[in-house]
Amino acid sequence: MDQHPDFKCSIDDNSGILVAIHVIRTGKTPFAPAQWEQVLEAITRYRLLCFENTPREIHFRYQVRQSCLKQDPPGTPQPIHRRVFGLICLALGEAGSDVEAEKREILHQYNGLLVHYGQTVLDTRCIVFRNSAAETRVGQVEEEDKAEAGLSERQKNGRPSINQSTNQSINQPINQPTNQSTNQSTNQSTNQSTNQSINQSINQSNTSSSLNRANGLIINQSITNANGLGFDLLRPVHKSLSEANLSSAAANSSTATKIAKTYIEIQIRDALRERISQVMEDFLLALFSSVEAKRPMSVPDKADKDWKGSNPSLDKLEPPVKKDGFKFDLGNAQKKKRLGGMRKIFAEWLLIAGLPYPACQYFAQAVDMLQSAKEILLLAAALEGWAAASYCVLPAADSQLALKLTALDEPDRKIILTRTKAASLNGYLVNGFNLHVPDHAKDRKHCLTSDAIYDKLRLAASTYSMGGRGDLELEVSLKLARLFMFLGDRILAHKGLRQATFVKIDALPNDSTERVDRFLTIAQLYEEIGFRRQAALFRLLAADRCIGPGSTPATVAEAFRLTVRSLAPYSLTLSTKPTAHHGWPELQAQVLIKLSATCRSQHAIYSRLLLIILETFSEVLSTAEKEDLLKSLSDVISHHGSPQGEVALEDGGIALADGGIALGVVSLTKIPFVHEFTPMPLPHHLQPLLRPKLKRGISGPFLYTPIKSASQLAVKDAGEADFMWVAHEPCELTLHLSNRLPRELRVDNLTILTGDTSTFESARASLILPPIIGPVFPVVIAGIPLEPGLLTILGYTFSVFGMENRCQLTELTQFQRNPPPRTVRVAPSLPQLKVDTSWPPCDMFVDVGEAVVGTASLVLYNGQRSTCSIKLHNIGREPIESLSVLVSSNDNVTADRCISFDSAALEAALPIKPGDTAELDLNVWAALSFSGAPNTEAASSSLTPQPVPEPLQFVLRIDYSGGPGLLENYYRLLSVAFFIDVIPSVAITHWSILSAEEPEQFYLVIDFDNRTDEEIEVLYPPDKKMLIVGRDRARIPALADRIPLLFSDSLAVAQDACRQHMSEKIDLRWEFVERPISGHCWIGDLTWDPADIEALSLPPVLVEFVCDGATVVKARSDGITVDVGTPVELDVRLTNRFSTRLSGLRVLLGFREESLVSDEVSGHKVALIGGISDVVIDLGREGNETLNCQVVMLVPGVFHLDAIFELAGRRWSVVDTCCVTAAAVASGTAPSSVESSTDL
């Protein structure tokens, strides 16, 4: 049972009289497609038969596809609208063939068709077209207008066309076909392809015209007879009869010649169309009259009654009730079934006869009865019919729908039958149909509303489904969809389509294209209602069906076409690069995968598509999918190479309506994915630095102004890197790659893309990225900038799968937020310096707070000196023309003290040519603090503690420049870190000041503590030595000059001055006895209290004592000796040592007896005459003052005259400067009195 559904069905089909169109093929040439369309268009021109002044309309339906013309199995009631009432056969006679034989063949096939449709067909025509070549008409061809020239072109291509010669008569002599054919044959033999004017003629077997009826055209004889014999004989053509007639017709050659006489040739195209229309009009009128004649006029109201009259077509529905003998008692259900069935049939007749109102009524009754009879298929058909009938009357109730229909009205397609015309055609309209529709028939009681129509159709569909008629169910669903699409209810139409997708049809052959057709139909309908996504989905489904196993190139091409058509609803186009940000990436990926599967034979397109998918949708694809795609891709590329440039669709049997597709070059930005793209700064010591330019004056009137000038505001370009590269020196970029594909990825020729390729020379890297899960894979690409200036970095290029790729940074989404520097400034060439030190490098990591190129370290005893020789090699291409060295340390005071070098020697070495070396000696004195707490007894008695090294750190900064870079104020900075571990040698635990013998000197008394285990000799001024054994201590007095301190200095300043003076002037050294190691002690950090400072500071005033006018008593001499009681002239000369004025200087002079401890000597021992013992004087700058006095010694003894100065709250005493020895006088004069007084 053929269940192929008709995908073009619509609800109108139920109300139309079905006319089947068959092509009879005799020769090899079929109808050319264009020609076929024209012919079909002409044949099916009339769709409607209207009756003047009545609403009655008769619809005609043409069916070309034979698969849709269902022959229901015997015993199955076939709905009226599916019975083939009319049959049109079309034949194309071949030029040059034997006409007679051809005719016989046509007749034979025609007879076969008549037999096939014999049960239902009421009227039939056979129209034969003939291509004829005519030499005789060449002359007329010349007269043709230019439009004809195009036709001639087509003729050359072998396609037949209709010759438009105008002066040919329509009616040809009867014997012309024979001549024509001979002409053709001769013509073809000589000139087959060139200048062949093909005439198409129509040969019509017109049984209806009175002229031809006389000829007794045997083909249609039975039907002609039936028509001619009137109503009584309207019986179905019996098979046997029909066969008999036809076989006789085929056998009888004499009748065949008769048929030939009825051939009418029409050479004019318009005329041809007119002629066909005329023939069809005749045919349709005849057909209608036959149908009308056959239509039952009433329906029996009892189950046991038969149709009134003897309607042969109705008899076939089921065997008539047998009335002979005993009576069959039909069950109630049977009765209802029969009654309902008859009502349904009757209603169907009414419907095709253009009487929908009564049809509704009878359908309603039929549904009622059949429902209770549980007659599934009949019920479904009745429901469907009811809905169809209701739809026919819907415009009457819905004015909008009526308007819509009026707008769609095509008068050209109507046959309007006027009363007079009907009368003139009386011969056909024998049934005496009533042109008037009874008024009672307009009762809308049984007519359904549109919603009800939907329900009934849904019900019909499900009922068909229950009855196992999937094809019918599908058809009803499609009808439903089309109906509501027309009515404008998209949701209901969608539901109908949805229903249609679910219909399951059994018993379809495997190679059937039903499913493809079904999906295509549904897609088409969805598109018509504007559901683009649904349409796309169904197109995809259809495409999937096309590329199953056993697919041919044609079906694959079809699948490709379908997939391409469904791209748009997924926001995909092939012309531009797909982006994952618009649309639905998961679906887009799937659709593209499907598309790629349909164009496997097109290797270039295929591989390009695969690349697009992998590139764009790698996030949404599963690993297995990626694996598949990669496998396919590598297969294709290994066999056919990778596509280069734009690839276009080859003409491999795929022809697209829009001219094919072309896929541009894909730049792979995610294969591999670059996470990070960083231009790397040069190593710290090689980074070029720019000396700030001196400001040329202040731009504003204020020293500080918040107003910034435009040049100040011109901030650096946002995309410029905050570092520089140097021309002709290698630089680096770091790329962090990852591979998201589940396969190893080979990346070749990875290199950097710069704005101007001539200014940058990039290295190329090739690598193999491990498959997925690989973390970020860093790659460093080196390059050399060739010119100073601004270098623009555009992106990177690489090749994978043999394809060159250029990735611009601006196009990469991962860098949108945090873009890498786009430009890097390139400085002019600069020299490069390499530094070697004679010291070994530091063996541990110490953070010095800045980047250094090297380290040097040494261990020194505190106070020890050493020299580090630093070699500066110029390893660059430019000479070093400027060089400066700076020592930087956390403690600059210490650094200054400890480190020194000869910068003048360095300058003399400049310039250092490339390859040359300069040397710098760095003198280091490990002069850390020597002061330390004394070792306690416990500490000294315990095990020897390891000396804790004290570090001395500093960085040597060398900034240098040369060559073109120097001209533009660029320089480089190189740093070397020095680490000196200082271990203790000796320590100063205690110190004090003692006055020396000379008033201008003092003793620095120091307790040295030997912190080593070895013997150390301490050398101290003046040229003395002290040996201290290990861990022992010793006290030394170091003689030193007093320190001239300004009286106005504060204590702190005075202290500093003391320290500095001492560290400079007092040379304390130590040396190991056993080893040749020595050092200088630094005592610049000893603390002094005010008393000490007083003791060691030189008084501001130089005191000289002048005795007897000339003798200057110097210090440390024996002094003067006087006799007791004798007055001695003594001048005290005061000289200002400083360059400042001393005003308000208080001078106190007083005698002190050497043997006594007390300070002051009482007046009865010494008398100082002159009133200068306590004076206040002013001393100018370097001025001097002499105080005159007389000294009288009253008792013998040794007295010292001390001078004490007070100035600004400070006090100096100059002691032991003047020693006066009083000797007793031998004679008993005045001295005796002195002596006596002493005794007293």
Partner 1 sequence: MALCIGVMGAENQPLLIKISPNIQDPIKFHFMLHSALDVVEEKSQPLPKTPGSISGADLRELYLGLLYPSSDEVRVYGYCANTRMKMILIVEASNTTLRDNEIRTMFRRLHVAYSNMIMNPFYDVGQPISSKSFHDFVDSMIAAFGVGKLVNPTLYSVEMEYFEDVPTLTGIRLLLRS
Residues binding partner 1 (CB under 8 A): 490-491, 494-495, 498-499, 501-504, 515, 526, 530-534, 536-537, 540-541, 544-545, 547-549, 570, 582-584, 586-587, 590, 593-594, 596-597, 622, 624-625, 628-629, 632
Please, how many CA atoms are within 13 Å of residue 1089, restricted to the half-sphere of its CB? Answer: 4
Please identify, using beta-carbon distances, which residue of 628 and 1056 lies nearer to partner 1. Answer: 628
- The C-alpha angle 876, 877, 883, rounded to 5 degrees, equals 60
CB 1191 within 8 Å of CB 1167 = yes
| Cis ω for the linkage preceding 949 (within 30 of 0) | no
Please identify, using beta-carbon distances, which residue of 225 and 632 lies nearer to partner 1. Answer: 632
CB 1203 within 8 Å of CB 1217 = yes
Please identify, using beta-carbon distances, which residue of 98 and 619 lies nearer to partner 1. Answer: 619
Please identify, using beta-carbon distances, which residue of 624 and 1052 lies nearer to partner 1. Answer: 624
Please identify, using beta-carbon distances, which residue of 582 and 1181 lies nearer to partner 1. Answer: 582
The least distance separating partner 1 from the CB of residue 237, rounded to whole angstroms, comes to 41
The least distance separating partner 1 from the CB of residue 588, rounded to whole angstroms, comes to 10
Q: What are phi and psi of 969, to 5 degrees?
A: 70, 25
Cα→Cα distances 687→384, 436, 684, 727, 828, Å? 89, 107, 5, 12, 12
The least distance separating partner 1 from the CB of residue 461, rounded to whole angstroms, comes to 10
Neighbours of 284 (CB within 10 A): 23
Tokens of 885: 């060295």
The least distance separating partner 1 from the CB of residue 501, rounded to whole angstroms, comes to 5
Please identify, using beta-carbon distances, which residue of 208 and 534 lies nearer to partner 1. Answer: 534
Secondary structure class of 991 (helix, strand, coil): strand
Please identify, using beta-carbon distances, which residue of 537 and 812 lies nearer to partner 1. Answer: 537
Left, alpha or beta for 109 (phi > 0: left; psi -120 to 50: alpha)?
Answer: alpha
The least distance separating partner 1 from the CB of residue 555, rounded to whole angstroms, comes to 11
Please identify, using beta-carbon distances, which residue of 545 and 740 lies nearer to partner 1. Answer: 545
The least distance separating partner 1 from the CB of residue 594, rounded to whole angstroms, comes to 6
- Alpha helices (runs of H) in 374-513, residue ranges in sequence order: 376-397, 399-408, 419-424, 450-466, 470-487, 490-502
Tokens of 345: 């049939």
Please identify, using beta-carbon distances, which residue of 364 and 541 lies nearer to partner 1. Answer: 541
Quote the strand ranges of 1064-1209, DSSP E: 1069-1072, 1078-1080, 1097-1098, 1101-1107, 1111-1113, 1120-1123, 1127-1136, 1142-1153, 1166-1169, 1174-1179, 1184-1193, 1197-1207
Please identify, using beta-carbon distances, which residue of 113 and 480 lies nearer to partner 1. Answer: 480
Residue 860: closest CA among 1073, 1083, 1070: 1070
Please identify, using beta-carbon distances, which residue of 399 and 936 lies nearer to partner 1. Answer: 399
Please identify, using beta-carbon distances, which residue of 275 and 545 lies nearer to partner 1. Answer: 545
The least distance separating partner 1 from the CB of residue 553, rounded to whole angstroms, comes to 16
Which position has the token pair 């053709």? 184
Please, how many CA atoms are within 13 Å of residue 1086, restricted to the half-sphere of its CB? Answer: 26
The least distance separating partner 1 from the CB of residue 457, rounded to whole angstroms, comes to 12
Q: What is the Cα–Cα distance from 442 to 361, expressed in whole angstroms?
A: 10
Q: What is the Cα–Cα distance from 70 to 78, expressed in whole angstroms?
A: 9
The least distance separating partner 1 from the CB of residue 621, rounded to whole angstroms, comes to 10
Q: What is the Cα–Cα distance from 43 to 20, expressed in whole angstroms?
A: 11
Please identify, using beta-carbon distances, which residue of 590 and 985 lies nearer to partner 1. Answer: 590
Q: What are phi and psi of 24, to 5 degrees?
A: -100, 125
State the burial class of residue 571 (Cβ atoms within 10 Å of its Cβ: 0-12, 13-18, 19+): middle
Please identify, using beta-carbon distances, which residue of 545 and 1059 lies nearer to partner 1. Answer: 545
Tokens of 57: 């309309």
The residues facing 855 across adjacent strands are 977
Tokens of 840: 């070994």
Q: What is the Cα–Cα distance from 670 to 615, expressed in whole angstroms?
A: 6
The least distance separating partner 1 from the CB of residue 583, rounded to whole angstroms, comes to 7
- The C-alpha angle 691, 692, 695, rounded to 5 degrees, equals 145
The least distance separating partner 1 from the CB of residue 582, rounded to whole angstroms, comes to 7
Classify residue 1227 by its DSSP letter: S
Left, alpha or beta for 1023 (phi > 0: left; psi -120 to 50: alpha)?
Answer: left
CB 610 within 8 Å of CB 636 = yes
3-class secondary structure per residue, 614-643: HHHHCCCCCHHHHHHHHHHHHHHHHHHCCC
The least distance separating partner 1 from the CB of residue 151, rounded to whole angstroms, comes to 45
Q: What are phi and psi of 994, to 5 degrees?
A: -125, 140
Q: Collect contacts of 993-998 with beta carbons under 8 A, ≥24 apart.
A: 993/1088, 993/1092, 993/1095, 993/1096, 994/1037, 994/1095, 995/1095, 995/1215, 995/1216, 996/1039, 996/1040, 997/1115, 997/1116, 997/1216, 998/1115, 998/1116
The least distance separating partner 1 from the CB of residue 600, rounded to whole angstroms, comes to 9
The least distance separating partner 1 from the CB of residue 389, rounded to whole angstroms, comes to 24
Please identify, using beta-carbon distances, which residue of 583 and 932 lies nearer to partner 1. Answer: 583
Please identify, using beta-carbon distances, which residue of 6 and 473 lies nearer to partner 1. Answer: 473
Q: What is the Cα–Cα distance from 260 to 255, expressed in whole angstroms?
A: 9
Please identify, using beta-carbon distances, which residue of 622 and 867 lies nearer to partner 1. Answer: 622
CB 1107 within 8 Å of CB 1130 = yes
Q: What is the Cα–Cα distance from 607 to 593, expressed in whole angstroms?
A: 11
Please identify, using beta-carbon distances, which residue of 571 and 995 lies nearer to partner 1. Answer: 571
The residues facing 724 across adjacent strands are 825
The least distance separating partner 1 from the CB of residue 655, rounded to whole angstroms, comes to 23
